[in-house]
Structure 1
Amino acid sequence: MSAAERPRVVCLCGSLRFQSLFESERRRLTALGMIVLAPEAIDEDLTPARREALGELHLRRIDVSDEVRVVSESGYLGSATRREIAYARKRCKSISSMDPILDL
């Protein structure tokens, strides 16, 4: 498969409080033939060091993505999501949002 034929890789970013939106957007994009990367909810109490490590892991997802897709509702962007958007911009990633309120 050539680079031109490679499926688009999309990284979902946003607050995990919108877990159902993450799941529906992941299904929708996968059905369109895209590779979807996203954070996973962790059911354990996270130490600050573990939380930071998971944040860095998510930045690596952005690194390997062609596009960042922001999952949000009512324009909500938490500090971690704002950090991820800034990171993606610095790396010249395409950024889109499923929330029409957001102008990214």
Structure 2
Amino acid sequence: MPTPEESLAEAKRLSGLPPVVAVCGSTRFLAEMHEADLRETAAGRIVVKPACDPKTPHALWGDPDEAEALKIRLGELHRAKIRLADEVLVVGDHVGDSTRAEITYARSLGRPVRFTHPEADPDAPPGPATPR
């Protein structure tokens, strides 16, 4: 019996869908995420990415209690986007705790992870030491 992930992959293959890319990264890189969305779309990929910037004032997260509940729901939704995706693209030159958790989750699912800034990969081997 195939797993749900295997069934989804087969359904996407049979329907002829183009590859799906989940964009991840800190919301401080929303402009870069938009640029990545444009480039990935132009390359023929379907893009899913964060749609909210909780640091920008908005009525949806104006109430602190609602904001915390929304943050949890958005995290669950983003993990669903990662499950839906064929690969993940991490945007930005900094990886914080939330993005690190998304990378770990994606890799646990066997999703390839690309970086706009490969040096930001928390699992990359350290580069050569810089001479002083």
TM-score range, shorter chain: 0.7 to 0.9
Q: 2:43 aligns with which of 27, 32, 44?
A: 32
Structure 1 runs of 4+ aligned residues shifted over 4 Å read none
Give the one of 52, 57, 70 matched to 2:77. 57
CA distance in 1, matches of 2:34, 2:70: 24
TM-score with structure 1 setting the length: 0.87
Which structure carries more strand by proportion?
Answer: 1
Q: CA deviation at 1:91?
A: 0.4
Match for 1:3 among 6, 13, 18?
A: 13
Q: 2:26 matched to 1:15?
A: yes
Among 98, 113, 124, the alignment partner of 1:80 is 98
Q: C-alpha distance in 1, partners of 2:103/2:30?
A: 19
1:45-81 per-residue CA deviation (whole Å, 9 max, x = no partner) reads: 35222111110100000000000100112xx111110
Partners in 2 of 1:36 and 1:29 — Cα distance? 7
Whether contact under 8 Å (2:95, 2:120) holds in the other structure is no
- What residue is the counterpart of 2:88 in the other structure? 68
Unaligned runs of 5+ in 1: none
Give the whole-Å Cα distance in 2 for the aligned partners of 1:67 and 1:55: 18
Residue in 2 that maps onto 1:102: 120
Larger fraction in helix:
2
Paired positions, count: 101
What is the CA distance between 1:6 and its match in structure 2? 2.6
Secondary structure in 2 aligned to 1:49? helix
* Residue segments in structure 2 that go unaligned for 5+ positions in a row: 1-11, 124-132
